A and B are shown apart, each in its own frame.
Chain A
Amino acid sequence: MTAFKKLTLTEPELVQALQSKDPAVLKTLYSMYSSAIYGVISRIITHTELAEDVLQETFVKIWQSAAHYDNTKGRLFTWMMNIARNLSIDKLRSKDFKNSLKNQDIENNVSFVEEQNKVTFNPDILGVKQLVDNLKPDLQAVLDLVYYKGFTHVEAAEKLDLPLGTVKTRIRLAIIELRRNFN
């Protein structure tokens, strides 16, 4: 096995190896990104076991649909993160997630999702909370819903009782704020 393969690669190297189905690259990819992706998943799904299941599913899907990734349309991480977000949201809304809760109304999905994710930050996520605290409260509220809880902007608009355009603008401002923080 290529146990001594270096554990960081540039993005083009990663993509090329991933698309040629080099098994070693999956290990590299996992060591580079699993914790960042798990950070995204575990904010949407607070239940550790389920969140880890989704992480596993995410990497299975990355491996199996690597050929569909098109680097002209965005960064590899964005693609992987969106797989993780979609699988997380699917999991939240899936039958096996709510099998203990009967008669769950489709219309109540949003509030249901919210209830499942009552803001019970575990210590691992405290750093995030602090970062977002630096944002203005109205920006924070939107980012909270969209990034942490897996809301769509439409759901967030409903939840916050705001026009769609305002929600979009606030998401943009929140991300601009993040960009400023990181630069």
Chain B
Amino acid sequence: MSVENLKAYIESGVLELYVLGDLSPEETLQVEEIASQYPEVRDEIAAIEQAIEQYAMQNAVEPSSAVETRLFEQLGLSEIETPETVQPAPAYTEAPKIIRLDESDGKVRTLRYALVACVALLIISTAALFITYNKLNDAHDQIASLNLDKQKFAGVVSKLEFENQGLGNMAAMADSREWATINMTGQPFSPASKMKVYWNKKDKSVLINYIAMDLPKADKEHEYQLWALVNGKPVSLGVFGKSDSTSNEALVKMPAIQEAQAFAVTLEPMGGSVNPTMEKLTVMGGV
């Protein structure tokens, strides 16, 4: 077919009639034959179809919903079309009910399984939680006892450090020429007591060493006071507590004294006294 003939064919209106289904079977076959050969004809047919389809879509009329119901009842929504199933109409209405029952039965069964699974899961979870809780308690106990051990060891370590410092100092003092060691011995108030005082010959500073003292434990209202005897007169060098774990330092520096003939310790009320209480003279030693 020439281009002119093809154009004339398209413009003859036969394709519109083809789309509208207004051709005889022979004419229809002829159009299909030509369309299979010429893409222009195919495109024209497609355009006509689309125009008519859009036209129909834009002029749609909603049928009553009963039609849909009747249609699906008529078809039974089933692919099988056996004469027996067509005959008794009520059988159709019954059949879906049975299916629905089966379906809901299945659902109930599924739900039952789900419930059993849930309960089992709950029991397992509870047991696991209980075991975990017990383990946690054990762990807490262990932590507490380890803490106790740690505190004990820390106490031992600090006591050892304290003693080591004091002993180290004693050894150093014994070797030193700078320091004079004054041994104070027990007096009638407490004959078993003894204590050392270290006096620096150069800068006149005074040290006491808790490790190098053996005094009775003072009660809460009393503490010990160190005195220097200067030309027969007592000069206070301050108070000190009995050695205990509250103090980390084994060595305590007391006020310096320029000259002294002897040192003494008395037991005085808390805060010390201006003059020594001679009845409670605990230890004393000359330089």
Q: How far is the CB of B109 from chain A (nearest CB, A)?
A: 19
Across the interface, do B56 and A153 meet the contact criterion of CB distance under 8 Å?
Answer: no
Chain A residues closer than 8 Å to B35, beta-carbon distance: 73
> With A78-B53, A127-B58 as given contacts, are A34 and B79 in contact (CB-CB < 8 Å)?
no
Chain B residues closer than 8 Å to A72, beta-carbon distance: 36
Across the interface, do B17 and A168 meet the contact criterion of CB distance under 8 Å?
Answer: yes
Q: How far is the CB of A66 from chain B (nearest CB, A)?
A: 11
Stretch at the interface among B41-49, B199-207, B270-278: B41-49
Residue of A147, A170, A172 with highest tally of chain B CB at under 10 A: A172
Q: Is A74 an interface residue (CB 8 A)?
A: yes
Q: Is A17 an interface residue (CB 8 A)?
A: no
Stretch at the interface among B6-14, B87-95, B179-187, B241-249: B6-14
Chain B residues closer than 8 Å to A63, beta-carbon distance: 75
Residue from B47, B51, B63 within 8 A of A34 (CB atoms): B63
Across the interface, do B60 and A78 meet the contact criterion of CB distance under 8 Å?
Answer: no
Q: Is A131 an interface residue (CB 8 A)?
A: yes
Chain B residues closer than 8 Å to A172, beta-carbon distance: 11-13, 15-16
Residue of B nearest to A180 (CB): B51
Across the interface, do A39 and B78 meet the contact criterion of CB distance under 8 Å?
Answer: no
Across the interface, do A30 and B71 meet the contact criterion of CB distance under 8 Å?
Answer: yes
Across the interface, do B46 and A75 meet the contact criterion of CB distance under 8 Å?
Answer: yes
Residue from A38, A146, A152, A170 within 8 A of B63 (CB atoms): A38
> With A81-B52, A171-B13 as given contacts, are A179 and B59 in contact (CB-CB < 8 Å)?
no
The size bracket of the interface on A is 35 or more
| Complex Cα spacing A175 to B49, Å | 10
| Complex Cα spacing A78 to B77, Å | 24
Residue from B16, B53, B59, B72 within 8 A of A75 (CB atoms): B53
Chain B residues closer than 8 Å to A178, beta-carbon distance: 51-52, 54-55
Across the interface, do A56 and B59 meet the contact criterion of CB distance under 8 Å?
Answer: no
Q: How far is the CB of A28 from chain B (nearest CB, A)?
A: 12
| Complex Cα spacing A128 to B59, Å | 6
Across the interface, do B17 and A153 meet the contact criterion of CB distance under 8 Å?
Answer: yes
Across the interface, do A175 and B52 meet the contact criterion of CB distance under 8 Å?
Answer: yes
Chain B residues closer than 8 Å to A60, beta-carbon distance: 71, 74-75
Across the interface, do B19 and A78 meet the contact criterion of CB distance under 8 Å?
Answer: yes
Across the interface, do B13 and A168 meet the contact criterion of CB distance under 8 Å?
Answer: yes
| Complex Cα spacing A43 to B60, Å | 10
Q: Is B84 an interface residue (CB 8 A)?
A: no
Across the interface, do B21 and A86 meet the contact criterion of CB distance under 8 Å?
Answer: yes
Across the interface, do A21 and B13 meet the contact criterion of CB distance under 8 Å?
Answer: no
| Complex Cα spacing A39 to B238, Å | 119
Residue from A52, A168, A179 within 8 A of B47 (CB atoms): A179
Across the interface, do B59 and A23 meet the contact criterion of CB distance under 8 Å?
Answer: no
Chain B residues closer than 8 Å to A77, beta-carbon distance: 49, 53, 56
Across the interface, do A182 and B46 meet the contact criterion of CB distance under 8 Å?
Answer: no
Across the interface, do B79 and A124 meet the contact criterion of CB distance under 8 Å?
Answer: no
Across the interface, do B57 and A36 meet the contact criterion of CB distance under 8 Å?
Answer: yes
Chain A residues closer than 8 Å to B61, beta-carbon distance: 35, 38-39, 42, 124-125
Across the interface, do A38 and B11 meet the contact criterion of CB distance under 8 Å?
Answer: no
Across the interface, do A175 and B16 meet the contact criterion of CB distance under 8 Å?
Answer: yes
Q: Is B20 an interface residue (CB 8 A)?
A: yes
15 further A-B contacts with Cβ under 8 Å, apart from A35-B63, A78-B49, are A38-B62, A73-B35, A74-B19, A74-B45, A74-B49, A75-B49, A125-B61, A131-B58, A147-B20, A168-B16, A169-B13, A172-B13, A178-B52, A179-B47, A179-B51
Interface residues of B, Cβ cutoff 8 Å to A? 11-17, 19-22, 32, 35-36, 45-64, 66-68, 70-72, 74-75, 77-79
Q: Can you give 12 contacting A-B residue pairs, CB < 8 Å?
A: A27-B72, A36-B59, A38-B60, A40-B56, A42-B61, A52-B64, A85-B20, A131-B58, A146-B20, A169-B13, A172-B12, A172-B15
